[in-house]
Structure 1
Amino acid sequence: MTSPRPRLPALPTAGRLMGRVLLVTGGAGGIGRAIALAAAAEGARVVVADVQRDGAEATVAQITAADGEAAFVPCDVADPAQVRALIGTAVGRFGRLDVLVNNAGIGGDNAPAHDLDLAVWDRVLAVNLRGPFLCAREALPHLMRSGSGVIVNVASTYGLIGAPQAPAYCASKGGLVNLTRQLAVDYGPRGVRVNAVCPGYVDTDMGGRRASLPPEASRAANAQREASAARQPLGRQAYASEIAQAVVFLSSGSSSFMTGSIVTVDGGCTATFNHGGD
């Protein structure tokens, strides 16, 4: 039986990101929106990037309604020209860039490797791995100039383990985990810290996949996720805001001696063997 999710207490605003400019990709909803809101609450000026204009503009509106400062820049992170324009626009708007959060990601189709369409493989790798690389490549000169630049990559527990019928997603997130470590090695001496967060089951609808299903199928898909989450030690899915708090921590001086770290925020699912029973 799934454990009830507790009500989260109001978290105090400590201003840990005051004066910092943070860019989050995939900020139109879900984890990305939660990261943008949490960063703004901590004093950051936030650049929200996404291909979904309406959702991203709604994120910006929530921040500005709370007296924060934010801007939307449309961007497909798999496109080098768009990424270059994104970074240039962010720096042009706010004069600097201190934190890059590579959050944009897609799931792709669920299928074993022998049935997976090559176009699906290519698109998942393009968004989930090529995208963070392109964003990092363009952002790093500005992050080095910051004096305390940070990259936080939003990977996945699927980048740490094998998961059924997810070859492209697992490969992309596994690559992102090790790209995190590699960038930490090269850029730590240059004043840039690079870490990754690996969420487990989070109560979001990545890419709107459940929303695109008929209501009964959507309910069944969510029930399956809840049942899987119930088998992990904390017995529930996460709130997107719980992932966001880990990202804010890694973006701030609170994590000043952390780089190359892969932080699981997964309710304990990678700490235990899932027997599949009650």
Structure 2
Amino acid sequence: MTDQRIPALASAVSLEGQVALVTGASSGIGQATAAVLAGAGARVVVADVNVDGGEATAQALRDRGDEAIFLACDVADGAQVQAMMEEAVARFGGLDILVNNAGISGGASLLHELDLETWDQVMAVNLRGPFLCAKYALPQLMARGGAIVNVASTYGLVGAPGAPAYCASKGGVVALTRQLAVDYGPRGVRVNAVCPGYVDTDMGGGRARLGPEGQAAAIARRETAAARQPLGRQAHVDEVARVIVFLATGAASFMTGSIVTVDGGCTTTFNHG
């Protein structure tokens, strides 16, 4: 028999009346997540350092009838993050959902060849960013019984070649997710993370800076690697966004501290390539 305290699925997945903030939302997974959140009824704050891309994302949502604003923010800068949260609350009256999606790869390098500036930049965006956003969002989230969804990576669960800073930063996001779930579950806030695998997107625009031959080679490498995993392909950004949004809704009401892989099965098996 259904517990009458648990809302029906249709109402559980609705985000009508809720406010969501997505970092790194000018493109890729963040942009797709903003669109899915808005489609579920949320009013959405699109946040990014990319002003043109962020404005375009918010405008596209408004053009289809959704409520959305863009706020420029470098998530590694505490003053900017605090100001962003204050502006979001001032514009929409509160905050219910935080999606910490902003991230950079830092390029490929062996650790002994990695420069300190790159290490610090990756840590600042990928780990300090979620810390700062959570820090300034949590008072609102506690007041409203909200949710945080952190975007980590399969590279935060397993070692990967040539990615010491990225792996370490995303491993930190996984650990931070679990720790926040412990402290803030009793305070009414659920905290979960998704770990995408190969996704058909260009993180940080690095591929776009390559020439045509370089772009083709980069795409081919990813497609070859993705073909070795059980589902045999890369994910579309919407396939990751839908899991993020599920974790933010009442349909995931008994989930906190969960680390959810959205990876086509790549972490379930050896890569035999």
TM-score, length-scaled by structure 1? 0.94
What SS does structure 2 have at the residue aligned with 1:68?
coil
The equivalences for 1:199-218 within 5 A come to: 199-218=196-215
> Residue 102 of structure 1 contacts residue 151 of structure 1 at CA under 8 Å; is this kept in 2?
yes
Q: How does 1:179-190 map to 2 (within 5 A)?
A: 179-190=176-187
- Secondary structure at the aligned position of 1:22 is classed as strand
Question: In the alignment, what sits opposite 1:228?
Answer: 225
Instruction: Output aligned runs, 1:116-131, within 5 Å.
Output: 116-131=114-129
Q: CA RMSD of the aligned region, Å?
A: 1.2
1:65 alignment partner in structure 2: 63
Q: Following the alignment from structure 1 to structure 2, what is the Cα–Cα distance between the partners of residues 189 and 168?
A: 33
Tell me which of 147, 150, 174 is aligned to 2:147. 150
Secondary structure at the counterpart of residue 263 of structure 1: strand
State the partner residue of 2:6.
none
Q: What pairs with 1:259-270 in structure 2 (closer than 5 Å)?
A: 259-270=256-267
Alpha-carbon deviation of 1:16? Answer: 1.6
The answer for the alignment partner of 1:111 in structure 2 is 109
From 141, 159, 165, give the equivalent of 2:139: 141
State how far apart, in whole Å, the 2-side matches of 1:248 and 1:70 are: 16
Aligned identity (percent) is 68
Equivalent AA in structure 1 for residue 216 of structure 2: R
Contact 1:109 1:116 in 2 (8 A): no
Per-residue deviation at 1:208?
0.3
Q: CA deviation at 1:61?
A: 1.2
**For 1:38-53, what aligned pairs fall within 5 Å after superposition?**
38-53=36-51
Contact 2:156 2:169 in 1 (8 A): yes
The separation in 2 between residues aligned to 1:85 and 1:222, in whole angstroms, is 38
> 2:174 maps to which residue?
177
Specify every segment of 5 or more residues in structure 1 that has no aligned partner in the other structure, as ranges: 1-11
Partner of 1:23 in structure 2? Answer: 21
8 Å Cα contact 1:184-1:194 kept in structure 2: yes
1:247 aligns with 2:244: yes
2:90 equivalent to 1:99: no
Question: What letter corresponds to residue 260 of structure 2 in structure 1?
Answer: V
What is the CA distance between 1:15 and its match in structure 2?
5.8
> 1:170, 1:187 → 2: CA distance?
26
Name segments (4+ residues, structure 1) moved above 3 Å.
12-15
Instruction: State whether residues 149 and 191 of structure 1, in contact with CA within 8 Å, keep that contact through their aligned partners in structure 2.
Output: yes
